[in-house]
Each structure stands twice: as C-alpha cells, then as structure tokens.
Structure 1
Amino acid sequence: MTVTYVIPGAEVTGLERFWQVVGEAVNGPDGYFGRNLDAFADCLSGGFGTPDDRDFVIEWREHELSRRALGHEETARQLRARLARVPEVNRAFVQGQLEDAEAGRGRTVFDWLTEIIDERAPGTLRLL
C-alpha cells in the first residue's frame, strides 16, 4: 500500500516553515524530517518516517504558492546566511549564486528541494 505525505503549499512561507510542514506531513505534530538540505536528503533515503520499501508519494499541493515563497528572494536570504559561514575557498561560488538570486536568475530554494526529492526518492514527487 502506498503512503501519501501531503505538503500543503499554502503553509510553506519560507524554508524554515518548509522544515516544519514536511516534518509534520511525514511524522506528525512536531515531527522531524530534516532541518537543512543535507539532513532532508538523508531523511529521504529512508529510516526517518518514510516506508523502508520506498512505497510512498510526496504530494505537494498548491505547489505554485510554495514555488513563489521559495523563489529568488528566499534563495537570496538563504545564500546570505550561507555566505556568512562558508569556507573562504567556496565564498566566490556562493557569492555568484547570491548575485544571480538577487537578479532573479538561477535555481531557487524550491528547485533545490524538488531536485533533492527527485535524486533521493525518484518518482515520489507529485506537484499539484
């Protein structure tokens, strides 16, 4: 039997809220399913609430609302925070990503999340 986890897109107002929403969708009230991109990827690999046999679907309803909330403005905000703690060797790369985001170009937080889902749990994402 396939388990469906519903992400209510209207509730996703930023990345921090996404962590709360996806945690609750998978593991109930106050549930955990990652609090950063690496942890989210690990959770999708199994053992953190999803069925071990990968028989699940992530149904992201009203995803266009989330796409806007997790767009270039949120991406720039996240990259500014990352830039403050990134090693010097990666600073120019992150700075370039930040400049793109501030100009409304490049991948967004929404793209990061959907790409992680597609990579770690292929075929499970339904954007509605």
Structure 2
Amino acid sequence: MSTSNKNNKKTAVINGSHFSDLYGFYEEVSRVLMKNQDWKVGTLDGFNDILYGGFGVFENNEEIEIIWKESQKSKEDLGFDATKEFYENKIKQEKPFNINLIHEKLDELTDGNGQTLFEILIEIIESHKNITLILD
C-alpha cells in the first residue's frame, strides 16, 4: 500500500507505469485508494465519488496528497487516441449515454479543443479542494 503520513496529510501514490489505459487506471486507483473494499472504480463518476473519501484509505474532506508517478506516460496513454476510442465506444453502446453530448465532446476533441481522458482525470482530482495533486 502506497500511503504514508507526513505533516498529518496522507499520501497516496498512483503509478503510471502500472497501467496503460483507462481500465488500468481504474484498477490502480481502486488498489491504491479503495483497500479492503468489495467494489472497484469503473467509471469517471465512480472515480470522482471515491475522491470524496469515507470508504477507502481516507475520510471525508481529509487533507490528502496524491502523487501521480510516471504522469507523462499516463498523459500519452490517456491522450487523444484513447479519448477518441472512449467516446466512440460510448456512441456504439448508445444507452444510457447522452449521444448528442458525446458527439459534441468527440467533435471538440478532433477539433483540438476537447479534453483528453488525462485532462479530465486531472480536473476531477483538482475539483476536490482537500486533495493536493503532484504530477511526478
């Protein structure tokens, strides 16, 4: 387990060398942040939910630090191609997704204005004010 205490702040380490796609990212954060839990993260919303704390390695609103090692590798792994595939798979599945919204997101991505999965994950983490993210 990669958590430690320093200055009363828990530290969790996500290691980009442990995964190369979004599914692998979910496996890694489940292992690191959800120890001893019966369920695993499997969606962006689920990832956001565990960052609220209370059922993994940290409590609600507890100050924590997440160190994302090999983040440059993750930025490439979860970049344009992976994001395009992510949206295309959702469009193929159709329900329960908002297909018009996903088409918009895909168009933004291909026009060079959309967020990659890596950027979306960073935004989700940074939306939690109790979490400090360090890209290593």
TM-score normalised to the size of structure 2? Answer: 0.79
Deviates more, 1:88-97 or 1:106-115: 88-97
Count of aligned pairs between the two proteins:
128
- Identity over aligned residues, as a percent? 28
Residues 23, 31 of structure 1: 8 Å contact kept: no
User: Which structure has greater strand proportion?
Assistant: 2
Residues 35, 56 of structure 2: 8 Å contact kept: no
1:9 CA displacement: 1.2
Aligned equivalent of 2:117 = 109
Query: Of 5, 24, 28, which residue of structure 1 is paired with 2:12?
Result: 5
Residues 45, 120 of structure 1: 8 Å contact kept: yes
User: Which structure has greater helix proportion?
Assistant: 1
Aligned equivalent of 2:51 = 44
Residues 35, 57 of structure 2: 8 Å contact kept: no
Alpha-carbon distance change, 17 to 88 in structure 1, aligned in 2, over 3 angstroms: closer
Aligned equivalent of 2:128 = 120
Alpha-carbon distance change, 99 to 117 in structure 1, aligned in 2, over 3 angstroms: same
Query: Of 14, 34, 46, which residue of structure 2 is paired with 1:27?
Result: 34
Residues 101, 108 of structure 1: 8 Å contact kept: yes
Supply the distance in 2 between the matched residues of 1:80 and 1:86 (Cα, whole angstroms).
Answer: 10
1:87 CA displacement: 5.8
Alpha-carbon distance change, 81 to 106 in structure 1, aligned in 2, over 3 angstroms: same
Q: Write out per-residue CA displacement over residues 74-123 of structure 1, whole angstroms, 9 at most, x where no aligned residue.
A: 00111012223446994233113223434655200001111001113454
Q: What is the Cα-based RMSD across aligned positions, in Å?
A: 2.6
Amino acid corresponding to residue 37 of structure 1 in structure 2? L
Residues 44, 50 of structure 1: 8 Å contact kept: no
Amino acid corresponding to residue 115 of structure 1 in structure 2? E
Alpha-carbon distance change, 6 to 32 in structure 1, aligned in 2, over 3 angstroms: farther
